[in-house]
Copies of this chain bind each other. A is one copy, B any other.
């Protein structure tokens, strides 16, 4: 369904070059990092201020045009695909850091600010923002998918690090969901309602986020293990011992191989844990000693320290490139990235079962994970024109999620539901999904805000 003429004309009049229906622009906005087919919006608009977002949302409301908030386009479950057409609202030019309150360790930012841009702005302040999904995602997008990353085991996820939001609702009303106090018992937690709502309840136009003091000392290490099970046992024991590790990441042998090839590292091609410790110099040393002992007890070898800043940067850069490194294992392939999270005591079982499934599938599928949270990903690679492989990959992905649910886990630790996991959401939350639907119908009765994502809305 094309856009109504007067709608498109109004946007063109008001936003000039910041409104586009060009094919290339639409293609860029109808494509994310998931394996789902592209779905192009009918047009794209770049607002620069909340008042413009309000204006555009009201136009969409009046003309019944679906609206899809777009950040960096790095989502992994098809969140920004325009499966029902409509207008893509690209928030990347709403990218001002509105305020830095170093003394309160918070920042007020526009939704288009990326995590790297925020950290660059914090340079010299003694503070940092820890949430780090692989991509340089926008903070609005990260809030919308309740993103996390390698630091979540110590610093939490977007759920924990957003203090408050400004949101434009489907009817154009603007609300603020929280102030800068560290805690509040004032009414319903609207902040947490919009964090993770994947743009289906409104457009986030400002975020107040928590910052953290840069640790006095940091050290990173890698350790190779004879098998994934030994590595996982080390992780479980570390968490249960209460060691406040900042990062504890698992890479299976295939992932390490992919990383060596893509990021030019020379890691031993065995299952590995990457660690990072934050604290005072003695605290860091103490944590590292505890973990090193646990690793040794579990057969860990080659505990190697990355003490220099540049070595650490290289190591974590390589870790963040894992998705691209994995895809690079099979040139021209499509990648399906799974994202389950289980209670830590079930992690060994979840991963062992997954390894068996991968072996049985015959597919190339490296495993990597934020294992301190019980969260791991399998990057399943398929040749693009091999329907049997795609079929096998989908079956493998399903088995991994079904096992996680049987083990009291969740179908997504950090990527979100998007269009890819709606059946699993139902399996996981049952009648809770009906409640989610009723909240959606209340706040977006015309089903215009990123429609078709998370669940089929009432009346769909």
A142 to chain B, nearest CB (A): 11
Question: In whole angstroms, what is the CA distance A438 to B106 when docked?
Answer: 30
A239 to chain B, nearest CB (A): 8
Which residue from B175, B180, B341, B442 sits with its C-beta under 8 Å from A184? B341
Given known contacts A213-B242, A435-B190, is B174 in contact with A410 (CB within 8 Å)? no
User: At the interface, yes or no: A344 with Cβ under 8 Å from chain B?
Assistant: yes
Question: In whole angstroms, what is the CA distance A208 to B269 when docked?
Answer: 40
Please tell me which stretch of A33-41, A48-56, A221-229, A411-419 contacts chain B, meaning at least 4 of its Cβ atoms lie within 8 angstroms of it.
A411-419
**A455 to B187, Cβ gap below 8 A?**
yes
**B443 to A438, Cβ gap below 8 A?**
yes
Question: In whole angstroms, what is the CA distance A2 to B433 when docked?
Answer: 37
Q: How many residues in A have their beta carbons less than 8 Å from beta carbons of B?
A: 91
Question: In whole angstroms, what is the CA distance A416 to B183 when docked?
Answer: 11
Question: In whole angstroms, what is the CA distance A424 to B240 when docked?
Answer: 43
Given known contacts A431-B175, A438-B443, is B152 in contact with A183 (CB within 8 Å)? yes
- A residues sitting closer than 8 Å to B (CB atoms) are 101, 103-106, 145-148, 152, 156-157, 159-160, 169, 173-190, 192-193, 195-197, 201, 212-213, 215-216, 236, 239-242, 279-280, 282-283, 286, 339, 341-345, 373-375, 408-417, 421, 424-425, 428-436, 438-439, 441-443, 454-455
Which residue from B148, B192, B344, B411 sits with its C-beta under 8 Å from A189? B192
**A148 to B183, Cβ gap below 8 A?**
yes
Given known contacts A182-B373, A213-B240, A283-B283, is B343 in contact with A187 (CB within 8 Å)? no
Collect the chain B residues with CB atoms within 8 Å of residue A145's CB: 185
Question: In whole angstroms, what is the CA distance A184 to B412 when docked?
Answer: 6
Question: In whole angstroms, what is the CA distance A169 to B103 when docked?
Answer: 42
